[in-house]
Amino acid sequence: MGEGAGAAGVDVIIRGARRSDALALYEIMSKPKVIWGTTVMPCTSELTAEKALGEENRHWFIATRARDGHVLGYLYLDWGHGRWRRIASLVMAIHDDAAGQGVGRMLLDKAIHVGFQYLDLQRIELEVYVDNPAAIHLYEKVGFVHEGTKRRNAIRDGVHVDGHMMAILKPLDG
Ligand SMILES: CC(C)(COP(=O)(O)OP(=O)(O)OC[C@H]1O[C@@H](n2cnc3c(N)ncnc32)[C@H](O)[C@@H]1OP(=O)(O)O)[C@@H](O)C(=O)NCCC(=O)NCCS
């Protein structure tokens, strides 16, 4: 469990996932900015969130408000099989009402640490829409590097939007 204060001073605890998080995850996945910034479907279901919680080879990080346990955001790492075992993809979202308060940064710091120091990952990669500067800025700040751009990567509100591929490698001496 990790604790700390986000940039705006909100006290945050980062913990693993619980079965009972499905409803809170569904609520975050239903927020307009989250649908805009991710590949979550509009009108997703609590069942989808529940299934996502049960995926194998996936490690969850849940950001909660320290004073009442309210779920503020989530991040998960999915690692591969065979020769991709040490490569993971990262997905994250912060509740619309909690964005811009440093919660995303805390989740990323925790996931990168656990990913490299406990899951034994060598590489963490992600895809981000090219028109999501807040996310790109945050990823660059923690060390992700732009590796290329996928054209027409995913459809959003009828438009096929390009996506940047970004990745961070475990430091060779880390
Ligand atoms: C994008 C997201 C993950 C960022 O998390 P967050 O908790 O809001 O981010 P933080 O508060 O930790 O940090 C945001 C950083 O981006 C900056 N930022 C905010 N809006 C920005 C903008 N329009 N352009 C550039 N930087 C911006 C902030 O100033 C801050 O950087 P700083 O610390 O240098 O000032 C979160 O807002 C979110 O989940 N959004 C909706 C879904 C989404 O887009 N997910 C990403 C999928 S790839």
pLDDT digits (tens, 9 = 90+) for 61-102: 999 999 999 999 999 999 999 999 999 999 999 999 999 999
What domains does the chain contain, in order, with CATH numbers? Answer: 2-126 (3.40.630.30)
Task: Provide the total of helices (H) and of strands (E) in the chain, helices listed first.
Answer: 5, 8
Question: For residue 7, which atom of ligand 1 is closest to its CA?
Answer: 11
**The ligand 1 atom nearest the CA atom of 126:** 48
Q: What is the pLDDT of residues 45-66, one digit of tens each?
A: 999 999 999 999 999 999 999 9
Answer whether residue 2 shows pLDDT above 80.
Answer: no
Q: Quote the CA–CA distance of 91 and 126 in Å, as a whole number.
A: 7
Residue 155: name the closest of 166, 147, 163 by CA.
163
3-state SS, residue 134: helix
Residue 98 and residue 134 in contact, taking contact as beta carbons nearer than 8 Å: no
- What's the CA gap between 18 and 116, in Å, rounded? 23
> CB of 40 closer than 6 A to ligand 1?
no
Provide the sign of the torsion angle of the four alpha carbons 142, 154, 16, 120, taken in this order: negative
Residue 108 C-alpha to ligand 1 middle, in angstroms?
11
Phi, psi of 112 (to 5 degrees): -65, -40
Closest ligand 1 atom to 38 CA: 47
